[in-house]
Amino acid sequence: MLHQRIVYFLEAADAGSFSGAARNMYISAQALTKQIDLLEEELGGHLFVRSRQGVVLTPLGSYARERFQKVEAELEDAVGAIRSRAADSRPRLRLGIFSAMHQESIVTPVLSFLMAVHPQYRLEINLLDLHEGKHQMLEHKLDLLLTNAHEEDAWEDCRCLAFGRYEAGIMVSLRHPWAIRDTVTPEEMKQYPCLKMNKNIGAYRMPVEDSFYANIPCRETIQVNNFDTLCALLHQGEAFGVFPRAFLGMEQAKIKTIPYPGRTFYFYTALVYWPGNALQGYGTLIEDLREEFELQQL
C-alpha cells in the first residue's frame, strides 16, 4: 500500500495537480488526495503546497521526489534482472496475489517457503485486484492464487485452503455519524451508501436473491476496483463497508467497527488452487503448503 501511495505522489508531482494525476491513474481525485494525505502522515511532513491552480512541491516534497524516483528506477532494474534470471527451463508456477494481501503475515512467508522448498519451479508472480485475480484463476491463467474470499464465493472446480477466518462487520470512518454508535439497524443502513469491491458482484454459491453480500441494505452501492480506493472513500465518512477489520492493516486505528445486525458472515484469507494441475510435483507442493501454514480446507 505504501508503494502505491509513492506512485500516486510521483504522478501528482509530474502532473502539477491532483485532478490531473487522478485522471492519469484512473481513480477519483478524492481517492488520490486521501492516499497522498496518508503518505504525508506516514512521512511526517507536507509534500505539496496546494492551491486552486494546482500543487507545488515543498522542499521536503522535492527531496522525496528525488529519492523516490531513484527507488523506482532501482525497482524496475531489479524486476528486469529477476525476470531475466527466471527465464530458464524450470516449469513455470503462475502465482496470483491480491495486491492488498498482508505482506508480512502471508505473502512474504509463502514466497520464501516456495523458493526454499520448491526451487524446481520458476515463479511467475502477478499482483492483481480481487476481481481480476478470481477471473484469471477461473480462466486457468493462474496455478495458485493468494486472495481474500467470502463464504458465498463460487470457485467452480477450484479448491480453497484458508489461512484464517474473519467475521465481517460494518466499517465506518471516525467522521461517519455512526462512529459514536455501537449498533445500527438495517433500516438505518438504508440511509447511507455501501462500498463494495467489483469482485463481490460475481458468482455466488446460491441464488443472488438469497445471498448475504448481494443484499446488504443501503441507499446505493458504490463499486470500486481496488482496496486502496475503497479505504480512501471510506475515510471520507460518507459511506460504509462490510468486511473484516483484519483486512484494514495499517488503517485500523481510524476505523470504527460495528457488528452487522442479524447474522454472522465470514471472510477468509485463502490459497486457491486447481486440484487436477498437471505440473510435476504440484500435489506435493499443495500438501507442503497445507502442512507448513496449517491451512484448512473450505
pLDDT tens column, 5-64: 888 899 999 999 899 888 888 888 888 899 999 999 889 999 999 988 889 999 999 999
Residue 17 in 3-state DSSP?
Answer: coil
Given pLDDT bands bounded at 50, 70 and 90, which one contains residue 82? confident
**Cα(141)–Cα(284) distance, rounded to whole angstroms?**
21
Given pLDDT bands bounded at 50, 70 and 90, which one contains residue 202? low
pLDDT of residue 93: 94
Range of lowest pLDDT (113-122, 194-203, 224-233, 275-284): 194-203
pLDDT of residue 240: 95
Task: Enter the pTM of the model.
Answer: 0.64
Q: What is the mean pLDDT of residues 112-135?
A: 89
pLDDT of residue 178: 95
Which residue's entry shows cell 509513492? 6
- Distance between alpha carbon 210 and the CA centroid of its chain, in Å? 26
Q: Is the pLDDT of residue 87 over 70?
A: no
Write down the mean pLDDT value for the chain: 87
**Cα(180)–Cα(190) distance, rounded to whole angstroms?**
18
Q: What is the mean pLDDT of residues 133-149?
A: 92
Given pLDDT bands bounded at 50, 70 and 90, which one contains residue 251? low
pLDDT tens-place string over residues 142-178: 999 999 888 888 888 899 999 989 999 999 999 999 9
**Cα(28)–Cα(19) distance, rounded to whole angstroms?**
8
Q: Are 268 and 162 in contact (CB under 8 A)?
A: yes
Q: What is the mean pLDDT of residues 119-127?
A: 90
Given pLDDT bands bounded at 50, 70 and 90, which one contains residue 101? confident
In order of their start, the domains of the chain are 2-83 (1.10.10.10), 88-165+269-297 (3.40.190.10), 169-263 (3.40.190.10)
Other Cβ atoms less than 10 A from the Cβ of 55: the count is 22
Given pLDDT bands bounded at 50, 70 and 90, which one contains residue 200? low
Q: What is the mean pLDDT of residues 122-140?
A: 89
Share of the chain above pLDDT 90, in %: 46
Torsion angle of C-alpha atoms 154, 233, 39, 252, degrees rounded to 10: -60
Given pLDDT bands bounded at 50, 70 and 90, which one contains residue 88? low
Q: Is the pLDDT of residue 253 over 90?
A: no
